[in-house]
Structure 1
């Protein structure tokens, strides 16, 4: 039986009987963890094992948003803090090779943390190019302020994750950096001309178009589709994401529960899949919402299934040899001891 084209969350540190029953019957392709699901390493390992057991797939993807800075689900005292993306771009102004080395190393250290917990997908790197005056929902999550530097460091981060046995997810395709609103709360509308979007916003995604997975932006681009956000726009997905950008990996939505989207949850799921997304993402673990989402999804099939299988095939069977202690020392030295324990 094929997995369903969805990724779901759960409510707490342990699965409830109702969650186990729902996952067993619905067979989501994967799961995502948030701070509410995290207590200590042993508990997280038990939870990831239970999630996979519920669907009977030992390779079921388990995602997390572990960027560093203000978007970090793993926190002290059990895990080390990592800086936001911008901190990498501000290292050694005259030494791009050092910036790339340390960005890759930071991601390799994160992969070491995640793989040890049974988490095999990190929703990193952020490839959005922030623009002056835009909402700070992206802000220092971006590695830099230019498309070229973001592409350079974004690829370094992706390579570091893959080397450690964790898949990257490039986000938020085709670009969230111009938005004047937080899509968690409102629907952002971007009025930039297509030429500007193509030259700047799409550029980092083109450079990393070979990555296995991407997350869509809940943003309306009036020059592309004035009525629908990218997540729900067949035109944006086919012409821009698959066409101009050239991304042919697994395309998942951003969280369906974000207020940028309209309609009930069944309609949101159906609309996103009909527009060309391969997978829908629902994060908050609310049972009634998940039940509604599941009414709008279908089993993975055709191109979506092939893309999902291809993404999992990118998981390293044998991870790159790594001395975590030496890596941590090198990482902290690059930031001159300014990282909090």
Structure 2
């Protein structure tokens, strides 16, 4: 069992089941003091309701800066959907626009990020799990359908930087994912273990490039993918070699590293061993997304507090967007995006 440090939050981000907290969830969150929370479509029915939920979550841990995460990539992965929220173009569409007209593509990507940021800010959500920096291959799993910008890492870098800037300038922290690259995976890590057989050389010259360009990003997320040339026994999330030697050293990422959801099928063992494996490998914080109260109750006595290094990384992340002015309205960016898309 990992040691627990007093006065620091637990190294886990938790989901909740519905649109408001149950008494049981409230009691658990107060006791466990998770690092943060993550929202899904099941939690988001109307703007006012989401704001109340977000405030309830932060109040449960008595931390105004407790991160509240969401996956608002655009396209197939949008937890906030019409009619209350705007439809955001997919990464694939942003890539196609860029291919036709580079300047327009970058402006569209920036505006999409800025519109998302404006909507999230009004809901008091602070972190968006995007952009996806994975390289597209013809064999890429359908789980990433529409979620990748391009098969060319240099194009991914250009588009993602514009999208990333839009989020940051709206006061929202982006999470780059899925490190060190999910694009070669042929199977869905929600269901099974994707195994990538590419050589270290090929991965370095393609998949890692976009992440290297974002090595100074303050937040990142691992891939539940096994890279057989790097570690033939563990997915990246559970591999100390991949996290320390590839993500931290070769890619140069020194930000706060989240695991992908520990409930996914690519991970083996019970929930406590999944948490232990990810944290021992070098993830700063694990994600538990299902909102299952029984599962959360099971791991509450096991999850350690975040490390002092993790706390420092989170403070660095907050400082990275502290100087941005959150100017501009949702309607302004919606109108601009509509013009760019037409």
1:256 matched to 2:252? The reply is no
Among 323, 326, 337, which residue is 1:331 paired with?
337
Once the two structures are superposed, the pairs formed by residues 48-127 of structure 1 within 5 Å of their partners are 48-127=54-133
Alpha-carbon RMSD across the aligned residues, in angstroms, is 1.2
TM-score, length of structure 2 as denominator length: 0.95
State the match for 1:339 in structure 2: none
Q: 2:176, 2:133 → 1: CA distance?
A: 7
Shift of 1:218: 0.2
1:106-255 superposed matches below 5 A: 106-255=112-261
CA contact (8 A) 1:267 1:296 kept: no
Shift of 1:130: 1.4
Runs of 4 or more consecutive aligned structure 1 residues displaced over 6 Å after TM superposition = none
Structure 1: gaps spanning 5 or more residues: 337-341
Residue 41 in 1 paired to residue 47 in 2? yes
Aligned partner of residue 294 in structure 2, secondary structure: helix
- Report if aligned partners of 1:162, 1:316 keep a CA contact under 8 Å in 2: no
Contact 1:128 1:201 in 2 (8 A): yes
- The alignment partner of 1:319 has SS state of coil
What is the CA-CA distance between 1:94 and the residue it aligns to?
Answer: 4.8
Aligned length: 336
Does residue 1:309 correspond to 2:293, yes or no?
no
- Tell me how far 1:34 sits from its aligned partner: 0.3
Separation of aligned partners in 1, 2:264 and 2:153: 26
- Structure 1 residues 231 and 296: alpha-carbon distance in aligned structure 2, compared to 1, 3 A threshold: farther
Aligned-partner SS, 1:281: strand
CA distance in 2, matches of 1:119, 1:140: 24
Return the TM-score normalized by structure 1. Answer: 0.96
Structure 2 unaligned residues grouped into runs of 5+? 1-6
Deviation at 1:156, TM superposition (A): 1.2
Q: Matched residue of 2:287: which SS? A: strand
- The 8 Å contact of residues 238 and 277 in structure 2, kept in 1 or not, is answered as yes
**2:119–2:330 Cα contact (<8 Å) kept:** no
Q: Given the alignment, which residue of 287, 295, 320 partners 1:289?
A: 295
Structure 1 partner of 2:14: 8
Higher relative contact order (CA 8 A, sep 6+): 2
Give deviations 1:164-196, integer Å, cap 9, x for gaps. Answer: 111000000000000011000111000000111
